[in-house]
Structure 1
């Protein structure tokens, strides 16, 4: 364990900046920017290649109405980009772009950004939340993934148990193997059907839409699911044919065929998960494949041992102990490598969901190893007892002449055979904790790795530091029929220093209103500063100034004097917070 910890320390200390989930690297236009003219398209750049959906972009105008846009496509820069063409004419105001793509490791990634044309408006569409999954689809998909992991562990583990441990009777294992095979076929079919709704974050019934299954079949995850189904059906057809002809293949041929099917079957998982993207992809896929096979040999073999425990022999238990030890060794080596690749730094171990889930899995694996140690101790003690009981007593030759030899000493008492119930309890504990480990493994494969989460945070940091605008809306009323409305005033940015001021006047019907004069001042009474005239000018539909200095932070009083005619005007005020 110390060697593994040192190796993990070395690897995490020399981590390279790469990820397995796609992280947003740049946007054009930038998030939160104000443009003088409307852009023709929106382009996103990611840290790795992404797949596009039929509904990858949703663009909303300042009134929260969805715009009709062109189809999503890759920019000429390559598959790590996503682009959508906007309508030819965009009105003044703030637009929201919600996007959703599929990263190279088959997991959907989504987000949102805003940009403004002319000036910002307060009537912006709410950005899409980070969790844009359909709860029913996500739950069904994750349950099917967990069942698939459980079924493949039982299927391959039982095969390894029969081939290596050679139990006296295999009839009790026939029903679990058939159940695992059918469960794997069913869960794989469900994953294929739900793949399109899972990627799009829509209802499970979305698969009924025309072309949904056909589009899934053209994607890499869909093709791998179909390959898994083909392998299972091929193996099932071969087994049924041999059973119908009542023939049994030689043991070596059976082992070769089983290995030839197990390896590509495991690849249908690893080639579609985290190992398929990021750094060192060939090595990562090989490591993940060995990890999956070792997990299946240990946990699936454990279930087979538990099923045949009352009818098995001590030799079978001893062979499984050696198989479990070899599997644990492979799991530790590949697990250390995959942890380094997924985390990238020690900080990600506690600061990311992936790291915290990995800690929970390590705790469960530790409990699993403790239970396995109890089983191995029982096996070692039982082997010593058997060796002592079967050892023949030493024969002492009788002398031809002379006095007789003293009587032979009694043989040492045989070691008591360890109680069988102890082994049963430890194996049962291993199996129970193994189910928890499989659940945490399923959760890990659907969680953004620590590398990607850290890189996404670094990418978003500059955007988060961009000063935000301050939008203040002040209603006014002249006391005459139709003489009311509101003034929407934007300070961009809303902090100390040079800023721009934009103001829009809305009439009683909520539409834009043209007024002959508008004056805006700011006063900081706590410091006896002001009133400071912003000197906004008419820009044809709205009033603005590109340069105005706010000297100090604090709560300022903003006054707006609105003249709607030669005789009618009103002055209204509202507090506005200016940040440092």
Structure 2
């Protein structure tokens, strides 16, 4: 006997899906950066002598900015930027600063939306004159996380799932099983898909403002943020999707209304019209993703967007049709013809070919190299997706074999129905017309009712007749129920049909996990973008290191007064190239009038208080009058180092002066 989907089994499948989906979202964390910061002016950690007039940031691709996208904060956390960020050239955006900024450490905080609709953020510091303490946290900001980020990811998954159920279910009915238009479980599947994608689209529209800004739950219903969202590319795509869903509702109403009531001959013209209209609406819905996400930016967007639309349509036709087939096999009381299964097998095969072909192009476009498969998060997720698709295709191959065996058997659905009727008659011990099996009163019951009517003058005779008629109707309904159950058991007892049901159920289970992986993949930075950003950062670092090496790096000047006779002077420390590893150090001591000043002893010590490293003492060698030097001075890590210089002008007169400097 073939197992059915019981409520307990349904709950188990739902819990398994939620566990897989939750694990994927938790592993993904906040939305990964799709636009990467590749450079800045001033650069991160630099100490400049003169206050800059603006701060400029360069990204790996164009980004969308708002009035608060770029903020510059002084050591006390007060904003010192003026005006909105402006695009200066290509992918560089600048914000002007107040004039006459005092010395100290400043924090640059940025939060923008990349061209493929995902929010990114970060922060870094630079110093004017010399580093100082700051009350601003400089850890990289995270956006797209928290409750709002989780809800947004869940909304994206449900929108994909609704699209697949609605489009795939409708295509299954029109292309494979037109009788399915009158099957209630199939109708509920398609309508549920429409309700799911509509509700999730409204949810995404409400969440979008908070998702790309503060990430606070309270900002979900901020009408100002909603107004800003409607002016963005993503907002336009979501509104377009809602308008197209209104047209989809009309399509569904016709498919399960007027179309279902037509005779087979009358359905031909309407089938053609519904197929054309449904294809246009489905392509428009798919385009609402393509026009606002990965396909709309980067390499070859003019080709990538149509390919993305085709990819989504093929996935929906395959997986959505699979779900409709699963419902028809498990829930439908109407026999599913073998011819319908064969037609879906052919449609699914064409869809798989389209999915593979478009997927290969998308993979090449998003990765750019074989190494990106293992070196980037996007590539690793893509490998998981490819593995799941391979498993799904393997199970689909098994399903095609079961379908072929069903088609080759001599037992057709019609024969099965006839056998069920014969079996029913043998079990019940009487031969009834078709009307009795459908639930109508039998001839015997009618005769009994007639006799009861003739004896209506007698109260007891009328009551007996009524009871006999009620009993006959009840018996007819029981016979019909038994016949239906027996027919279903006999149909499902076929091992070929049983094997097909199990393989289709396995396909649907893998498809649930595959869709979850795909949802996370759409929120992950493409491998090509990640590698380009790494290359740009490496080039920027190399350029910065070369610049530091050629410019003499760091110079600190400190006045001292030991308190004794002739105890005043100036100590200057040159540190080259002021980075992690070996450095050259020169110390020059002069009198207040600038002349070289020979003193008995000079010592230098380096301390990184934040990491509790040091003091690391260095005793330079005396080279010439007022000049000391040391080579190979090792700095173990980058940070804000305290450089302390101890000078002794006599046997008893000594003082230590210090300054902080960013090294490395």
Do the two structures share a fold, i.e. TM-score over 0.5? yes
Distance 1:66 1:528 in 2: 37
The residue that corresponds to 2:238 in the other structure is 225
Q: Deviations over 1:515-553 (max 9, x none)?
A: xx9x962379xx997345899x9xxxxxxxxx9854014
The residue that corresponds to 1:67 in the other structure is 79
Describe the shift of the 1:225–1:555 C-alpha distance in structure 2 as closer, same or farther (beyond 3 A). closer
| Equivalent residues in 2 for 1:234-313, closer than 5 Å | 234-237=247-250, 250-310=270-330, 311-313=335-337
- Aligned-residue offset at 1:314: 0.6
Q: Is the 8 A contact 1:523 1:529 kept in 2?
A: yes
Distance 2:247 2:276 in 1: 15
The residue that corresponds to 1:407 in the other structure is none
Q: Does 1:552 align with 2:657?
A: no
**Pairwise CA RMSD of aligned residues?**
4.0
Distance 1:549 1:369 in 2: 71
Describe the shift of the 1:111–1:464 C-alpha distance in structure 2 as closer, same or farther (beyond 3 A). farther
The residue that corresponds to 1:196 in the other structure is 209
- Aligned-residue offset at 1:48: 2.4
In the superposition, the TM-score normalised over structure 1's length comes to: 0.75
- Aligned-residue offset at 1:321: 0.5
Describe the shift of the 1:553–1:23 C-alpha distance in structure 2 as closer, same or farther (beyond 3 A). same
Aligned equivalent of 2:604, options 513, 519, 522:
522
5+ residue gaps, structure 2: 1-32, 415-492, 557-561, 563-572, 589-598, 607-615, 637-641
Q: Is the 8 A contact 1:382 1:417 kept in 2?
A: no
Distance 1:256 1:420 in 2: 33
Distance 1:169 1:244 in 2: 12
Q: Deviations over 1:27-56 (max 9, x none)?
A: 222222221111111111223221003321
Describe the shift of the 1:173–1:500 C-alpha distance in structure 2 as closer, same or farther (beyond 3 A). farther
Describe the shift of the 1:287–1:119 C-alpha distance in structure 2 as closer, same or farther (beyond 3 A). same
Q: Is the 8 A contact 1:168 1:313 kept in 2?
A: no
Distance 2:152 2:89 in 1: 33
Aligned partner of residue 44 in structure 1, secondary structure: strand
By percentage of residues, which structure has more helix? 2
- Aligned-residue offset at 1:169: 3.2
- Aligned-residue offset at 1:23: 3.0
Describe the shift of the 1:350–1:183 C-alpha distance in structure 2 as closer, same or farther (beyond 3 A). same
Q: Does 1:88 align with 2:165?
A: no
- Aligned-residue offset at 1:253: 1.1
The residue that corresponds to 2:343 in the other structure is 319
Distance 1:83 1:373 in 2: 56
The residue that corresponds to 2:528 in the other structure is 451
| Equivalent residues in 2 for 1:337-352, closer than 5 Å | 337-352=361-376
Describe the shift of the 1:35–1:277 C-alpha distance in structure 2 as closer, same or farther (beyond 3 A). same
Aligned equivalent of 2:129, options 93, 97, 118:
118
Q: Is the 8 A contact 2:75 2:104 kept in 1?
A: yes
Aligned equivalent of 1:214, options 210, 224, 227:
227
- Aligned-residue offset at 1:264: 0.8
Distance 1:26 1:184 in 2: 40
Q: Is the 8 A contact 1:493 1:500 kept in 2?
A: no
- Aligned-residue offset at 1:335: 0.5
- Aligned-residue offset at 1:494: 5.5
Describe the shift of the 1:240–1:154 C-alpha distance in structure 2 as closer, same or farther (beyond 3 A). closer
Aligned equivalent of 2:537, options 452, 456, 460:
460
Aligned partner of residue 55 in structure 2, secondary structure: strand
Q: Does 1:205 align with 2:218?
A: yes
In the superposition, the TM-score normalised over structure 2's length comes to: 0.66
The residue that corresponds to 2:23 in the other structure is none
| Equivalent residues in 2 for 1:495-574, closer than 5 Å | 495-498=581-584, 521-522=603-604, 530-531=619-620, 550-554=630-634, 560-561=645-646, 570-571=655-656
Q: Is the 8 A contact 1:58 1:66 kept in 2?
A: no
Aligned partner of residue 179 in structure 2, secondary structure: coil
Distance 1:520 1:154 in 2: 79
